[in-house]
A and B are shown apart, each in its own frame.
Chain A
Amino acid sequence: MNQNPTPQTGHETGDYVTVNIGPSHPAMHGTLRVITLTDGEYIIKADPEIGYLHRGVEKLGENLTYHQFIPITDRLNYCSAIPNNVSYEMAVEKLMGIEVPEKAQLIRVIMMELARIADHQVCVGILGVDLGAFTPFFYLIIQREEIYEIFEWFNGARLTNTFGRIGGVDADLPDDFEERWEELKPNVRKANEETEKLLTHNRIWMDRTIGVSAFSAEDALNWGFTGPCLRACGVKRDLRKDEPYCMYDKFDFEVPVGKNGDVFDRYKVRMIEMEQSIRIIDQAYKLYKEMPADAPLMARVPKTIKPPAGEVYSALESPNGELGFFVKSDGSANPYRIRIRPPCYMIYQAFPELVKGELIADLVACLSSLNVIAGELDR
């Protein structure tokens, strides 16, 4: 965690300065606020404050119907809206005991992996910008725009795609998906390659990221980490492999694992995951092509969804970690309680531990690498 010796000045004289970072700050991560107590540039204590984007999503859920809640789940992790939608739909489907047809599952996989690539692109890009490397951001964002084009053309919306329905998906992939994908794939790979060339072996980048906010695996598990941050600490845990859903057990892909849990490992894990997502999309599309053209896209679902009374929890691997929905139903058309388990909530609560003893510059690097998205954090 702390690669620099704690400075000796200030302890006796109490010469600390309170620096308030955020909630409106050019380090564009949403409305996060960190109140730090610093000794010059070294951080003695960092106290995050959240809630600036709290919209009462869980309470809204109790007053809407099951279908009406799907657009609200978009706004949780707005960098990749599709895994949010699918996670909620899967929870309700589990509660009702609905089996989603295979074709719909494949379409869900393709879209979720595209969203994963988009999310990681933004995360790595912003990490670069925060550390002063402005150029990789543009290379990655240009490809992200192309992914947005696919979303828009499939769904109608670029960012907050209300994807899928409870029971499947509402529409099939359009006919020229293959051409679009074959055109996009090498460009995404090229952008990733250029980013790696600019950053991975760059001495300045390595100095800025290796060893910064390193975290051990036991601490990470104790704090409830999941996702790339946990994998960077050395724990091989991925819900797509451990608790497979949506036909993920049929695909062959690797789960990257880091060593030290520092900023560099998190960056590398995300870069490798992007490549693995491309592989998954290829395999999923191959399986999709073998499906008959008139295979059903939605299971038989009643028009008004009234699940039987009960409560389930269902989670999937979103780009940030384990995104889970706990849905409790009392038999009526409105959910009784919806609880969203945000991945970056658990990660961000360990933030004071991660940055103690680091410099302010490292605080910014650490915050970027955790990919804390205020929409998901505050709900």
Chain B
Amino acid sequence: MDDWLIAIIKVVCIWVWVLLIAVVMTWVERRGAAMIQDRPGPNRAGPFGLFQPIADGIKLFTKEEIIPARSQKLLYILGPLLFSLPAFSAYAVVPFGDKIILGGKEIILQVSDVNIGFLFILAIGSMAVYGIILGGWGSTNKYSILGGLRSTAQMISYEVPLGLSLLAVVFVYGTFSLREISLAQQGTFLGFLPNWGIFKQPLGFILFIVAAYAEANRVPFDLPEAESEIVAGYHTEYGSMRLGLYLFGEYVNLVTISGVIVALYFGSWHLPYINLGAYLGPVLWGIVSFCIFFLKVSFFLWLFVWVRWTLPRFRYDQVMGLGWKALIPLALFNIFITALFIQLTV
């Protein structure tokens, strides 16, 4: 009984927390863009424009829901759902802190620690492709179809290097579970380097982050929604809350991806060289580990925004070329080297 209650509370808390981060991310995106572009950004809705996301949300909620006459209605409605639901559920296996002891019970700060770990994220993330292709096809608009096709090809192609770089991580840690990988990143290795994933898998990290940008449809891989070429790509014909689901789902994806990057490569909730868990009490440690994790995640979220407003976007054939001809051979090479290292050092 208690376990169920704790689980439900965790789910609700995490869900609300992730939504909150996604909402704040819209503000960060717009103010960050403005800062990089030497202009003020939203500053009317509340101090520093902080109520801007609320205003946007109200706007999207209160707009008229239009379904184009010639669209395939079922596909049109299903598209945003199939995109955002996986986005919301993928966060279930990402740890956002170490354990906390409340009322005598030890609670891990993760919704569920299944032993398939990030395989779950990969599987759920693949469903998002359906959301895009159905949305693009169902709109019956040539621009949307083009956007949907581009996005599908891109996301499917980049799942391969994503998975292959994660495979190398499995070689190093021997487990899929994100919590166990996080726990294994404590301490130092080689005497002076923190035991973080990035030092053990530098090439893997680069491959993962590039493939993650492609999976998230963010610049420089944002050609599915390239505004100047195909109007708005797969969400051209969407307005009101359906568009809100697409845009929101995208930000939630970003949070999930940042969470995975931090958990795998950047030491999760560990600080380098200091083992805070030994000094702080259990409740405090839970809260502090949560804050450390959150700070690292926000750095990566900022990185997403920073890259978006700095780089131009790729062309479709260049994206395909990069994915298949550059990333996959590198990912295979990475696996080979990792396996070799492990064989030689064990």
Instruction: Tell me, yes or no, whether A and B come into direct contact in the complex with CB atoms closer than 8 A.
Output: yes
Residues of A within 8 A of B (CB): 4, 17, 19-20, 25-27, 40-41, 128-135, 138-139, 142, 198-199, 202, 204-205, 207-208, 359-362, 364
> Is B309 interfacial (CB-CB < 8 Å)?
yes
> B231–A131 contact, CB under 8 A?
no
- Give B212-243 interface residues, CB cut-off 8 Å to A: 219-220, 222-223, 226-232
Enumerate chain B residues within 8 angstroms of A41, measured Cβ to Cβ. Answer: 146, 150, 316-317
Contact of B220 among A27, A40, A204 (CB under 8 A): A204
- Give B285-324 interface residues, CB cut-off 8 Å to A: 309-318
> Is B73 interfacial (CB-CB < 8 Å)?
no
> B38–A132 contact, CB under 8 A?
no
Contact of A361 among B219, B223, B311 (CB under 8 A): B223
In the complex with contacts A26-B227, A133-B312, A138-B146 CB distance below 8 A: no
- Give B90-115 interface residues, CB cut-off 8 Å to A: none
Contact of A204 among B36, B39, B314, B317 (CB under 8 A): B314
> B228–A19 contact, CB under 8 A?
no
Residue of A nearest to B318 (CB): A207
Contact of B313 among A20, A204, A362 (CB under 8 A): A204
> Is B188 interfacial (CB-CB < 8 Å)?
no
26 of the cross-chain contacts (CB-CB < 8 Å) are A17-B142, A20-B142, A25-B231, A26-B228, A41-B146, A41-B316, A129-B228, A130-B228, A132-B228, A132-B312, A133-B310, A133-B311, A134-B33, A134-B37, A134-B309, A135-B37, A138-B37, A138-B38, A199-B312, A204-B220, A207-B318, A208-B313, A360-B229, A361-B226, A361-B229, A361-B316
> A132–B219 contact, CB under 8 A?
yes
Contact of B315 among A19, A25, A202, A362 (CB under 8 A): A362
> A135–B309 contact, CB under 8 A?
yes
> B309–A132 contact, CB under 8 A?
no
In the complex with contacts A17-B142, A19-B146, A134-B37, A204-B228 CB distance below 8 A: no
- Give B9-34 interface residues, CB cut-off 8 Å to A: 33
Minimal beta-carbon separation of B310 from chain A (angstroms): 6
- Other A-B pairs beyond A27-B229, A131-B313, 4, CB < 8 Å: A134-B37, A142-B39, A204-B312, A361-B316
Enumerate chain A residues within 8 angstroms of B228, measured Cβ to Cβ. Answer: 25-27, 129-132, 364
| Bound-complex Cα distance A207 to B230 (A) | 20
Minimal beta-carbon separation of A34 from chain B (angstroms): 12
In the complex with contacts A27-B228, A361-B223, A361-B226, A208-B38 CB distance below 8 A: no
> A202–B312 contact, CB under 8 A?
yes
> B315–A361 contact, CB under 8 A?
yes
> B312–A208 contact, CB under 8 A?
yes
Contact of B230 among A17, A204, A205, A360 (CB under 8 A): A360
> A19–B220 contact, CB under 8 A?
no
| Bound-complex Cα distance A134 to B220 (A) | 12
Contact with A along B154-174 (1 / 0, CB 8 A): 000000000000000000000
In the complex with contacts A27-B229, A130-B228, A132-B222, A204-B146 CB distance below 8 A: no
Bin the interface of chain B by size: 20 to 34
Minimal beta-carbon separation of B168 from chain A (angstroms): 25
Enumerate chain B residues within 8 angstroms of A360, measured Cβ to Cβ. Answer: 146, 229-230
Residues of B within 8 A of A (CB): 33, 36-39, 142-143, 146, 149-150, 219-220, 222-223, 226-232, 309-318
Residue of B nearest to A4 (CB): B317
Enumerate chain B residues within 8 angstroms of A204, measured Cβ to Cβ. Answer: 220, 311-314
Minimal beta-carbon separation of B141 from chain A (angstroms): 11
Enumerate chain A residues within 8 angstroms of B143, measured Cβ to Cβ. Answer: 19
| Bound-complex Cα distance A147 to B41 (A) | 23
Residue of B nearest to A139 (CB): B38
| Bound-complex Cα distance A356 to B316 (A) | 17
Residue of B nearest to A41 (CB): B316
| Bound-complex Cα distance A250 to B231 (A) | 48
| Bound-complex Cα distance A198 to B307 (A) | 12
Enumerate chain B residues within 8 angstroms of A134, measured Cβ to Cβ. Answer: 33, 37, 309
Residue of B nearest to A198 (CB): B310
Residue of B nearest to A28 (CB): B228
Contact of A26 among B146, B220, B231, B316 (CB under 8 A): B231
Enumerate chain A residues within 8 angstroms of B36, measured Cβ to Cβ. Answer: 135
Minimal beta-carbon separation of B40 from chain A (angstroms): 11
In the complex with contacts A132-B220, A359-B317, A205-B37 CB distance below 8 A: no
> B312–A128 contact, CB under 8 A?
yes
The 10 A-B residue pairs with the shortest CB-CB distance in the complex, in nearest-first order = A132-B313, A138-B37, A133-B312, A27-B228, A130-B228, A132-B312, A131-B312, A361-B315, A364-B229, A204-B312
> B316–A359 contact, CB under 8 A?
yes
Most chain B CB within 10 A, of A40, A133, A362, A364, is at A133
Enumerate chain A residues within 8 angstroms of B314, measured Cβ to Cβ. Answer: 204, 207-208
Enumerate chain A residues within 8 angstroms of B317, measured Cβ to Cβ. Answer: 4, 41, 359
Residue of A nearest to B220 (CB): A204
| Bound-complex Cα distance A128 to B228 (A) | 11
Enumerate chain A residues within 8 angstroms of B226, measured Cβ to Cβ. Answer: 132, 361
Enumerate chain B residues within 8 angstroms of A199, measured Cβ to Cβ. Answer: 312
Most chain A CB within 10 A, of B310, B315, B317, is at B315
Minimal beta-carbon separation of A229 from chain B (angstroms): 20
Minimal beta-carbon separation of A153 from chain B (angstroms): 23
| Bound-complex Cα distance A208 to B143 (A) | 21
Enumerate chain A residues within 8 angstroms of B33, measured Cβ to Cβ. Answer: 134
> A207–B315 contact, CB under 8 A?
yes
Contact of A138 among B39, B149, B315 (CB under 8 A): B39
Minimal beta-carbon separation of B8 from chain A (angstroms): 43
Minimal beta-carbon separation of A298 from chain B (angstroms): 41
Minimal beta-carbon separation of B128 from chain A (angstroms): 22
Enumerate chain A residues within 8 angstroms of B227, measured Cβ to Cβ. Answer: 26
| Bound-complex Cα distance A134 to B309 (A) | 6
| Bound-complex Cα distance A139 to B311 (A) | 15
In the complex with contacts A135-B310, A364-B229, A142-B38 CB distance below 8 A: yes
Minimal beta-carbon separation of B154 from chain A (angstroms): 12
Minimal beta-carbon separation of B274 from chain A (angstroms): 38
Minimal beta-carbon separation of A335 from chain B (angstroms): 40
Residue of A nearest to B230 (CB): A360
Minimal beta-carbon separation of A31 from chain B (angstroms): 16
| Bound-complex Cα distance A143 to B309 (A) | 19
